[in-house]
Amino acid sequence: MPVLALTATATSRVADDIQDKLGFPEKNVIRMSFYRENLSYVVRTTENKLQELKHILNNVPGSAIVYVRNRRETKVIADFLNSHDIPSVFYHAGIDPILKDERQRAWTEDRYRVVVATNAFGMGIDKPDVRAVIHMDIPNSVEAYFQEAGRGGRDGKRSYAVLLFSPGDKRIISKRISDNFPKEDFIRNIYEKLGFYHEMAVGDGRGCSYSFSLGEFCRHFSLPVIPTDSALRILTRMGYIEYSEEADFSAKLLFTARRDELYLLRQDTLTEQIMNVILRLYGGIFADYTFIDEQLICSRVGTDRRTLYTVLTNLQNQGIVRYVPERKTPLITWTRQRVDTDKLRFDPEVYRLRKEEFKERIGAMTEYITRATGCRSAMLLKYFGETQEMHCMHCDLCQEKVSGHMTRGEKETITNAVTELLKEDGDPREVYSLPYPKKKIDIILHSLVNEGMIKIENGTVIYNNPD
C-alpha cells in the first residue's frame, strides 16, 4: 500500500526518523524551501514587553496574533490592548468550545484586530492577511516558533514575526528542561502519590479511570504544578497510566416533562424543531439521562451550537428538561496494575533520549534569540537543513547591518520625516533637503522599499496600501 507522510516543519533528522518508523524501503523526500521572502523575523529586547507590544501594534497596521504560554495572560494582555483602543480577544484551550468558535470567527471576520492566545490557537487557521505574529514568551523549539510565526503573511504581503525577549528569559527557558523532565526519583514519587490519591493497592487498578484535578492533587501533596504535570505525561509515555488533560464528556439530556405534556406547551418554532429532532434521535430520554450529539442535532435543525445551548438552557429553566452541557475534564486511567515504585522502568527512548532532544531544541531556540550577527532567515533555514548562504535583508539583524548603526529613535525620526515629505511631494529627490546625512536617508529609503511600504516608479513614489 502506498504511504504518503506530510509535515510542515520537520528537520532532516525528524524526516529520516518518520521514514524509518513507517518502514520506507528507501529515503524519498519531496521538500520545498522553508524560506518566506515576505516574512520579516525580528527579536526585540525589552524590559517592558507590554509597552513594546503596544508600540509594535501601533506601527504595524492590520490583523495580528499574540502568543503567550499562560492561559491567564491571554485575558490580561487582551484587556491591556483593549484599554489602549486596540480591539482584542483572548483564546485558550480552557474556553467553552462554542465561545472558541465564535471568537475565532470574529477575529477572522475582522471584528477584532488582535487575538491573544496560547498555542491552542492555530490548527485550521488560514487567515491570509495577518500582518504580525508576536511572541511574548519564548517557544520550546524552533519548529514550534517557525510554525506559529508562519501564520503571518500568507497573502504574500510584508508581515512581521516578532519575538519579545527580556534579560530574564534565558533563565526561564533553561529551567524548562528540569520542569519538563524532572528527575526519576520525583517521577517515582508522583506515581506513588497517585496510588495513594486513588486509594489503589499494588496489583490493582488496571483499566480504572478517574476524573482528575491537577491543582487539587498538587495542593493535597504540596507538589509543584509544572513538574508534576510533566511527570504524569512521562508516566503516560512509559505506559503505566493514560493522562488525558481534557477528555471529552458528551452532553447529557433528560426530559422531566411527560411526552403528553409537551404537546400542551407553546414554544417558538426553533425550540419545537430542536425538541422534535431530539425525540426522533433518542429513545428512553424520558426515563434516564441520555448522551446526545450536539453537532448532529445542529446539523439536522440547521442551527449553531451556541443557539442550541441557549434553547436547551431555557427548557431547563422552564422545568422541561435537565441538561448537562458537553464538557472537557482531565482524566487518569490506570493502563496497568499498580506496581511498586522501584519496579518502574525508564525506557531510554521515553526519558533520557527525549530529554537530550529537548535540551537540543532549547539550545537552538536560545541561540536564535541571542545571536547578534548574521541573518534570522538564514538561521532558520540552516536549522531545517537548508545550507545555502543568504541574507534576507528584512530581519532585524540584516536591517541593523545596513542601517549604519542608527539608534532606534534616530531611525524612527528620520523614517517619519522621510515618509511625511514623500506623502506631500512624491519626489524622492526632495528628501535630501531634510537635515540628515545623505547616507542615512538612503538607508531609510532602501528599508521602506524592502518592507514594501513604497515603490519608486519613473521617479515618483507610490505608497502601497498596508491593508
The cell 435543525 sits on which residue? 301
Other Cβ atoms within 10 Å of 237 Cβ, number: 13
Lowest mean pLDDT among 142-156, 178-192, 265-279, 412-426: 412-426
Do residues 235 and 241 lie in contact, with contact meaning Cβ atoms separated by under 8 Å? yes
Quick check: 248 pLDDT over 70? no
Quick check: 270 pLDDT over 90? yes
Q: Are strands 159-165 and 88-91 parallel, antiparallel or unpaired?
A: unpaired
Order the strands of the 327-334 sheet from edge to edge: 209-211, 327-334, 241-249
Q: Looking at the whole model, is its pTM more than 0.85?
A: no
> Which among 176, 170, 174 has a CA at the least distance from the CA of 230?
176
Question: 50: which 3 cell numbers?
Answer: 507590554
List, in order, residues 6 or more apart from 93 with CB less than 8 Å away: 71, 118, 120, 246
Confidence of residue 201 (pLDDT cuts 50, 70, 90): very high
What is the pLDDT, as a whole number, of residue 287? 86
Burial 119-156 (b: 16+ CB within 10 A, else e): bebbeeeebeebbbbbbbbbbbbbbbbbebbbbbbbee
Confidence of residue 404 (pLDDT cuts 50, 70, 90): low
466 or 324: which carries more pLDDT confidence? 324
Quick check: 451 pLDDT over 80? no
> Which among 13, 4, 98, 7 has a CA at the least distance from the CA of 357?
13
Alpha-carbon gap, residue 217 to 113, rounded angstroms: 39
What is the pLDDT, as a whole number, of residue 295? 86
Q: What is the pLDDT of residues 78-96, one digit of tens each?
A: 999 999 999 999 999 888 7
Other Cβ atoms within 10 Å of 94 Cβ, number: 13
Three-state SS string across 181-210, please?
Answer: CCCHHHHHHHHHHHHHHCCCCCCCCCCCEE
Amino acid (1-letter code) at residue 271: T
Compute φ and ψ for 11, nearest 5 degrees.
Answer: -70, 170
Alpha-carbon gap, residue 80 to 77, rounded angstroms: 5
Amino acid (1-letter code) at residue 141: S
Q: What is the pLDDT of residues 365-401, one digit of tens each?
A: 999 999 888 899 999 999 988 877 788 888 988 887 7
Q: What is the pLDDT of residues 348-374, one digit of tens each?
A: 888 999 999 999 999 999 999 998 888
Alpha-carbon gap, residue 383 to 378, rounded angstroms: 9
Compute φ and ψ for 384, nearest 5 degrees.
Answer: -90, 15
Compute φ and ψ for 135, nearest 5 degrees.
Answer: -100, 120
